[in-house]
Amino acid sequence: MTTKPPVAQTRKAAIRLALLPRPGREPSARLLDALQPCVLNRAAVFLSAKRRLEYLWSRVLLHELLLHEPQAVVVESPPRSPHIENAAFSHTTISHTRTWIGAGVGTLPFAIDLEVMDAARVRKELFTRLFDPRHWSDAEPAARFYRFFGMYEAAVKMNLPFHSDVKRPYVGHSEEKACSVRFLRDETTLLTLVSRSEAALHLSIFEADAEGGLHLSSLEPFAPFAP
């Protein structure tokens, strides 16, 4: 009697995201001590305090996402996001705006974009200069503009094209192989997540205290946003 070889189990692609309401100060010395020397050395050359704060907190969030993978090594790849060695979560993404700082790790190529949705900034002239005019509508133009802009920004990070000159805009080299796109939002900010294919998502919200420490939050401010 012959037996069939066991069927290999395919692990579902996964993405972990960490979001932090924008703190007013840099991380504490305890958090900085956990970062790699190359990260601290790079942060030291930033002339802008704002840029240094964003950089350090995003690396702290990456560290938190990899706490259960002590063998993981974060390798800086300026001007792009770092990549990770010795871990299943080898891809990273970073985004920040005046409301949130976000970072993520994934088992497949992906990217996020955070944008504060300001309806007053969206005009037909701006929309049609960036995107195909067929998609302009006087009905909620800001929501459509920021969805498209988030997809575009994520596409740039993934080194992929964004196509708006079709009925249903997409990220990727063809409609048949278009990337997966998800949107989440709170009261002011839109989070766009683009991944090479569908993936399980785990989202963690953190809070920074007055001393620059970091804590998990029980808040769930982001909810799925269906266009």
Residue 185 belongs to some domain of the structure = no
* Residues 85 and 121 reside in one and the same domain: no
| Residue 40 three-state SS | helix
Question: Per-residue pLDDT tens for 144-184?
Answer: 999 999 999 999 999 999 999 999 999 999 999 999 999 99
Residue 227 belongs to some domain of the structure = no
Q: Would you state the pLDDT for residue 227?
A: 67
CB distance 183 to 227 below 8 Å: yes
Q: Write the burial class of residue 176 (CB in 10 Å: 0-12 exposed, 13-18 middle, 19+ buried).
A: exposed
Question: Per-residue pLDDT tens for 181-227?
Answer: 999 999 999 999 999 999 999 999 999 999 999 999 998 999 999 86
* Residues 39 and 149 reside in one and the same domain: no
Q: Would you state the pLDDT for residue 51?
A: 96
Residue 224 belongs to some domain of the structure = no
Number of separate domains in the chain:
2
Q: Would you state the pLDDT for residue 7?
A: 43
| Residue 61 three-state SS | helix
* Residues 120 and 95 reside in one and the same domain: no
Using N-to-C axis directions, what is the helix angle for 49-65 and 37-44, rounded to 10°?
170
Query: Which residues constitute the domain of residue 28?
Result: 13-108+199-219
* Residues 52 and 103 reside in one and the same domain: yes
* Residues 93 and 172 reside in one and the same domain: no
* Residues 26 and 55 reside in one and the same domain: yes
